[in-house]
Amino acid sequence: MKNASMFCLAIVFVISCTKEEQMNEPPIVPPHAGLDLNSDGVLDYEIQYGSFVIDGVGFSRYGHFGRLEPLDDNEILMIEDSSSVDIAVRKESGGTLRVTPESPEKWLARSIQIIDITSKTETIWPDVWEPTAPFSSSNPTYIGIKINHPNVSIGWILIETSENTGEISVIESMISSSESLVIDPS
């Protein structure tokens, strides 16, 4: 009986080690996508993808990310954190955007990371991409935007992420030159 128990334990150990050490291909990174939200022939934002490496003592991790990058001094509605980590404000349908937002919200010309995927080792990758905070709690989600050229306009984009491909898609958007705008999708 003792030998049978040891044999079963050995099988479980081999199966768990084998499953954990299976190699797979790194994910395909989606292409960049430009967004001309006010239809003036000039890109206002870009969905960009990049790669990163984390080198630690005795381990390394590799990863890819997708972010929304404002172009030409355009901005994204954020909360500026004292720790230098800016957090995009995730808006809900019915929420109000303002040219001059109420504190702690601010318009900032900084990119926001929306989704990423990180390897466990150089050859072992997860099966899915993960939306980053605050986007992990809602998919699709609204992001407040401010276009500063040629005229000041505020608006929103409704984005959706694919956990299978890492793709960030703009489903719907609205731009207005008014002082405030209620998020009211059609």
Q: What ranges do the domains of the chain cover? A: 2-182
160 phi/psi in degrees, rounded to 5: -135, 140
| Average pLDDT, consecutive stretches of 10 residues, N- to C-terminus, the chain (186 residues) | 48 44 83 96 97 86 95 91 66 88 90 92 89 80 92 94 95 95 84
pLDDT value at residue 82: 62
Q: Write down the pLDDT at residue 163.
A: 93
Letter string b/e over residues 16-44, b meaning 16 or more CB atoms within 10 A of that residue's CB:
eeeeeeeeeeebebbeebebebbeeeeeb
Please give the helix or strand (H or E) that residue 89 lies within, else none: none
Question: How many angstroms separate the first and last alpha carbons of the chain?
Answer: 69
pTM for the whole thing?
0.82
**Residue type, position 25, single letter:** E
Give me the pLDDT at residue 55, please.
Answer: 86
Cα 137 off chain centre by: 12
